[in-house]
Amino acid sequence: MIVTRFAPSPTGFLHVGGLRTALYNYLYARKNGGKFLLRIEDTDLARNSDAAVEAIKEAFDWCGLEYDGEVEFQSRRTEIYKKYINELLESGKAYKCYMSKDELDALRKEQEARKERPKYDGRYRDFTGTPPEGIEPVIRIKAPLSGKIEFDDGIKGHISFEAADILDDFIIARSDGSPTYNFTVVIDDALMGVSDVIRGDDHLSNTPKQIILYDALGFKVPKFYHVAMINGSDGSKLSKRHGATDVMEYKRMGYLPQALLNFLVRLGWGHGDDEIFSMSDMLRLFDPKDINKSASTYNLSKLEWLNAYYIKNSGFYELADEMLFFGIDFRGLPKGELLMSLLQERAKTLLDIKAGVELIVNAPSSYDEKAMKKFVNDESKALLAQYLAEFKEDLENTSEFEHFTMEFLNSKGKTLKDLAQNVRIALTGGSVSPGIFEMMEVLGANEVKKRILEFLKA
């Protein structure tokens, strides 16, 4: 069975790069009828945040990434880690190192002076003497002194590390007894049955260390897939200045979760020239072997384009549910479905829809100066006054408002361009809006008359 996991540290909010990793793991597990696990790596007690844990769960809920079983917390697995550290000590595959900080600093200075890569020299690897007093030892693994550490990466292909060049007897437990990252990851992945690890390639240097631990503990090594990072538009590491932020901020900015997931899945993976991928499409087509080896580029305009597509193609009730987050209940608005259809055609984000609702539903308290200068004059206001005088209060739907208006204009020898912008400014305060006849239906004849009258007084 395919078992994948997402294992963030709760030291900050879930970033879009992390969500992409979670999505890839989720898709691969679900496509193969496997399990997708969520594990919180919270052993750094000084930096952990309960708010960050809740933010991760909230982001998963919003995006619809359901994980199997309960969330696992490393902080609750301390006894398990101690058990396996003791096993390695008893089997001679790990040992206690009594090297003091002063000794370690001196060693590093000597190595740097010789222009060598700083590394532990193994002085306590086979130590059998009396331990020095006053020093709490760290626990080190006995790493291979020669040979190669090799594995087949599902994205990057065959990878080989020279043991002597990159490895020393790295620490698996600190002097206070707390286990290190590489050790806890191996224990957790093995005991949780993780078969495939899809993660960022910033973890690639950890992989040989973890393989050594898998072998020392007699655990099966999972299949690794190391995904290239996401870069900003300028080629540098993705950051907030490129528009990227924590996942829930995208919700607050008015993006739909399906648009964000579609955007993220394409940052490193594709299927031909296709751009639109629903969740069902992703589940059908995704394979981590097809992930690009090279870094992808974050493009906010592409996300906006996708978001506009999903907004335009979403049903009324789906969008109405999303708009509740922004304090707008379309189900409670007169002509709510018509209003939604007007606004979703033009919207790039749900904030655009919110602004559109406020523009149409709320009577203008002022009028745009540029629009007034460009479109409003004595002749246009005189025509609008005549229009108001003949306006019928029994008009109800878009076609009736349009039919009445065109008959009025024909009788005056005028065209719609002679009237439309003055009506638009009267109804909304500006010169940009959805169609005037649709807006009239949303507002109703009485409200239309009231707004035109107020405009003529201005």
CB 269 within 8 A of CB 291: yes
226: Cβ contacts below 8 Å, ≥ 6 apart = 153, 155, 156, 199, 200, 201, 203, 204, 207
Please tell me the distance from the alpha carbon of residue 267 to that of residue 229, in angstroms, as a whole number.
9
Among the listed residues 109, 220, 240, 293, the single catalytic one is 240
Residue that the structure tokens 């590394």 belong to = 119
Widest CA span of the chain, in angstroms? Answer: 111
SS3 228: coil
In the numeric block, which tokens belong to residue 285? Answer: 């087509």
Please tell me the distance from the alpha carbon of residue 281 to that of residue 283, in angstroms, as a whole number.
5
Q: Give the Cα-Cα-Cα angle 126, 131, 132 (nearest 5 degrees).
A: 125
Please tell me the distance from the alpha carbon of residue 181 to that of residue 83, in angstroms, as a whole number.
16
In the numeric block, which tokens belong to residue 413? Answer: 């020898």
Task: Check if 96 is active-site.
Answer: no
List 6's β-bridge partners, or say none.
38
The 8-class DSSP code of residue 237 comes to: B
State the CB neighbour count (10 A cutoff) for residue 403: 13
List 237's β-bridge partners, or say none.
231
Residue 240 is labelled as binding a ligand: yes
What residues form the annotated binding site?
240
Active-site positions read 240
What residues form the annotated binding site for ATP?
240
